[in-house]
Amino acid sequence: MNPTITTRMANLRDRMAATATDLVVIGPSSHMLYLADLAPHGDERPVLLMVSPTFAGLLMPSLNVDSSRQHTDLPFFPWADADGPDAALAELLNATGVPTAPSIVLDETMRADFALLVLDALPGATRRFTSDTVGYLRSRKDDAEYDALKKSAVLNDAAMAAGFAALRPGITEREIATVIRDFYKA
């Protein structure tokens, strides 16, 4: 795992302890990219990152294992279409070591059927969304994130300046869009 992801996982576990959270469940989203450097296709096949105080792993369709392995060294709990995800999900939940009635955080951007799959497997769970865990962490920027945001803002400001500089009577919106697009390509 790269050092940034290792730090983010440690920070998440600190937030989990501070918020009495037993399990964080993330679907294919920017949250998954943030925590696991993984951006699987979000289709009808459940893909879930689960993080407990002592374990992190991924429910992953067998079809996606090879393409996803290059992005993370977290353990996969693969499942085939012929079998469905239930057995692999049960194995993953067992590996997390969560209690039978855990306090869980669900990714508010995940598909509802993915969330219901988890809730059905943990009928005694209390649940909430990510605002005090992953959302809290993502709202606070480290130096590298701040630097990337600053560079992006400077680039975008320069692109807009190029667009404004190209304004003249008779120019079309499409031509201005081309100027801005060409600025980004340069």
pLDDT of residue 131: 98
| pLDDT band at residue 142 under the 50/70/90 scheme | confident
The CA-atom distances, in angstroms, between 166 and each of 152, 159, 172, 175, 186 are 21, 11, 10, 9, 16
* 180 backbone dihedrals φ, ψ, rounded to 5°: -65, -45
pLDDT in tens, 45-86: 999 999 999 999 999 999 999 999 999 999 999 999 999 999
Give tens-digit pLDDT for 76-98: 999 999 999 999 999 999 999 99
In the sheet that holds 76-79, the strands lie side by side as 76-79, 56-61, 48-51, 23-26, 103-106, 126-128
Query: What confidence category does residue 42 fall into, taking pLDDT thresholds of 50, 70 and 90?
Result: confident
- Residue 44 has what pLDDT? 94
